[in-house]
Copies of this chain bind each other. A is one copy, B any other.
Amino acid sequence: MVTIQDIAEKLNISKGTVSKALNGAPDVSENLRKSILETAVEMGYSRTKHKRDAKRLCVFIENMSCREPNDFGYDIIVGFRKMAEPSGYVVEVVPLDAKMQKQTPYDEYMLQHNYAGALLLGLSLSDLWLRQLQTAHTPAVLLDNYIRANPYTCYMGVDNAEGMDLAVAHLRSLGHRRIGYLSGGLGSYVNQSRYTAFFHALRKNDLPDDPHLAGSDYFFSECLQKHLPALLQQKVTAIICSHDLLAHTVMLHCLERGIRIPQDLSIIGFDDLPLCAYTIPPMTTIRQDRTQLGKSGFYALSSLMDGVSISTLLLHAQLTVRQSTAAPGETTQK
């Protein structure tokens, strides 16, 4: 275990100076502080290993809102706090952006701000910190991002395979045989994972897994103008979408074109956002319980901080059946 003493010896300075720098004391020059932090990170020094300092946790959030009760991140953070605060942790929520990631490496940021561990929400595959997390030393739980072979990181999310399986099995039991899939851009881990899970679910439910049954694009417009018509041409009678907002857009688009949901086309979303109860018709979707996601995030993080290196923690998915799915009727494509 690397101590403050080790860092002091390496830099040939006093232990007091190292301690001051790590605790942000004003009488250490900015250059010296930076060099001490970098050395500490290089040597694998981390707050977690020094329990008496370690009562501060950080939730980093990017590409996601969390201010209002309806926002996707809101309940996750509430769930996380519900577990962390009674255990004596202070939780701070910090919005993350590319500039900040470029400015300060992850481990250094955590040391600098005296955080024992982090929950990271909404990072995309191109994020700089995601690369750094492959070798980071400060415990990190990532929603919907998987880091291979780093014992200090854990992937947390809903069981996408189970969710897709429930959705496909539900449609199959209603009588659907040709089921399509529309997805957001495949530049995110969660979209990749759900895409794979969809085809896996088709095979598991003895349905043909023709690659033409899926289309994906970062832009909704492309999904609507290119992939949706292609799926209808393939004579699908139901479409599962990678997330609720895309499903909702598809429903509105169909409404405009006289394609009746669910008589002509069944639609299933993913996430069960609050809006799903209020779409026309109310949307059948795969539920991920956001408060439970937050609580699990704390379970996983405490486990990493205790040296139990969890790689993956998934929540059970649930199917919420509303009115956007029914037995296939006659398709009235126009």
Contacts and interface: CB of A to CB of B under 8 A. Distances in A.
A277 to B, nearest CB: 21
Interface string A137-180: 00000000000111100000001001001100000000000000
Given A292-B308, A299-B303, A308-B292, A149 B313 contact: no
Number of copies: 2
B317 A311 contact: yes
A315 B151 CA distance: 9
A312 B316 CA distance: 8
Nearest to A293: B308
B315 A310 contact: yes
A205 interface: no
A312 B162 CA distance: 11
A313 B313 contact: yes
A125 interface: no
A16 to B, nearest CB: 37
A308 B307 CA distance: 22
Interface string A252-286: 00000000000000000000000000000000000
Contacts of A150: 316
A314 B311 CA distance: 5
A299 B83 CA distance: 13
A216 interface: no
B299 A309 contact: no
Contact of A159 (B299, B307, B312): B312
A295 interface: yes
Contact of A296 (B149, B308, B315): B308
Contacts of A306: 295
A166 B311 CA distance: 14
A296 B159 CA distance: 18
Contact of A314 (B166, B289, B295, B310): B310
